Amino acid sequence: MAFYYDDVARTFNEYLLVPGYSSADCLPATVDLSVPLVRYVAAEGPSLSLRIPLVSAIMQSVSDDVMAIALAREGGLSFIYSSQSVADEAAMITRVKDHKAGFVVSDSNVSPADTLATVMEMKERSGHSTMPVTHDGTPHGRLLGIVTSRDYRPSRTPLDAKVSQFMTPRERLVVAPKETTLSEANDIIWDHKLNALPVVDADDCLLYMVFRKDYDSHKENPLENLDDHKRYMVGAGINTHDYEERVEPLLAAGADVLCIDSSEGFTEWQGRTIDWVKRSFGPEVKVGAGNIVDREGFRFLAEAGADFIKVGIGGGSICITREQKGIGRGQATSIIEVADERNRYLRETGIYIPICSDGGIVYDHHMTLALAMGADFMMLGRYFARFDESPTAKVTVNGNYMKEYWGEGSARARNWQRYYAGGGAKLSFEEGVDSYVPYAGPLKDNVALTLAKIRSTMCNCGAQSIPQFQQKAKLTLVSSTSIVEGGAHDVLLKDQLGALPPR
């Protein structure tokens, strides 16, 4: 007969943290949120880490190059979605890697024959006021000059005036050669009181722009997640169908880590994929796998060579796997059991494998609970889909700003590779929905607020790092009445007064 678990599968909402002793030097400002990203020998430490425990989901509606840059700037990591062509995914990764070390490939360029009207239109569209002038108007054409807002006056310069008439010409520009380091570029900017510095090759073709504001940005973002070459780190999604064609171009583009995007990870398909990647490219190429929900699934992927393991099936806000197939498990129970098995594996082998909580996060405090229960980091979809940097459209629904958000298992995504089990190249039925989420504004502001809550809660538990938090945390189950008690109750909220009927 079937196996029955003794206990119910529980969600984050069924738990609360109990405060512990907090010393005077345990302050939010001193809390370290860095975590390992990939497996490592306990005595040696990880080769890849995160500065904050947040990664964005492998989804069309969440993780493109814009999201990857914004999240890496805050210390996290994005996994570029794999439900697109290999060339397009590799191009997104290239754009992320090119964006930093302070060297930016210009996306606002004009030719000498363009007009002020073109410049004004481009400025309106991109928000950029500095535009290199190249011989053909491309990002890497021969540099002929530059246009800034100081070169023209919209009220006096005719809209049909040619760029060549008002641009600052090449001979008056300060430029840097290809070999210039970021430190040297910033020195040039400061010495010459520049706002932007073009970097050119031996043929005087434009390579990059270095901006003064990026120097300031780096100082404002001390947790930036950078690789050994001071470029933003980025992950890439792969699947168990076309990995033999996909992996090499993604690595060539600069992907720092790979992750198998699949609805279920306890499969021979994932074992084959991990084995092929490791045999083909060596152990230095890191591959995350999943998703699983129990100790057997963890053990299978750990022994297959997974570098981190995603936990969670059916808990995502747009996921209907449980409804469609009756498969899944409460996210809190899954994390607790898998973390216990992860620790047992560490004791047996001396190897630590990070686990990623994927799904089931509704409120910020759920993230803190996931960390306390043993997760090293969280993969989030709905959370990041709400921000300016997500790739979806901002729309108005019933007078409110919303952003579109759809699952990889939805008909809109048509990501049949994610559910591939040796069958035909099609999506047999949906395991995700097409939806909207409330628009929340810029990523930076929202992530800062979330991290402030996590740091504050950790201090309440007397912890200044996530490993310490997991050792000190005390968790208690709560009743349904306790959940009601935890929110505002037995009062009339001021913002509800306008909804009262007239007397």
Is residue 287 within 8 Å of 277, Cβ to Cβ? yes
Give the span between the Cα atoms of 69 and 234, in whole angstroms.
Answer: 8
Q: CA 247 → CA 12, 216, 233, 281, distances in Å?
A: 35, 36, 17, 9
Buried b (16+ CB within 10 A) or exposed e, 389-418: bbbbeeeeeeeeebbbbbbbbbebbebbbb
Is residue 279 within 8 Å of 313, Cβ to Cβ? no
Question: Which residue, 421, 382, 371, 82, is CA-closest to 245?
Answer: 82
The dihedral formed by the CA atoms of 281, 284, 290 and 295, expressed in degrees to the nearest 10: 130
Question: Which residue, 31, 48, 29, 30, is CA-closest to 40?
Answer: 48
Residues belonging to the active site: 319, 418
Assigned token pair, 161? 């005036």
Contacts of 274 (CB under 8 A, 6+ apart): 260, 287, 289, 301, 304, 305, 306
Phi-psi map region of 102: left, alpha, beta (phi>0 left; psi -120 to 50 alpha): left
Is residue 189 within 8 Å of 199, Cβ to Cβ? no
Is residue 345 within 8 Å of 377, Cβ to Cβ? no
- Reported as half-sphere exposure (CB side, CA atoms, 13 A), residue 286 has a value of 23
What is the per-residue DSSP string for 133-199? EETTSSTTSBEEEEE-GGG--TTTS-TT-BHHHHSEEGGG---EETT--HHHHHHHHHHTT-SEEEE
Output the 3-class SS for 429-484: CCCECEEEEECCECHHHHHHHHHHHHHHHHHHCCCCEHHHHHHHCEEEECCHHHHH
What is the per-residue DSSP string for 170-186? GGG---EETT--HHHHH
Give the span between the Cα atoms of 34 and 165, in whole angstroms.
Answer: 52
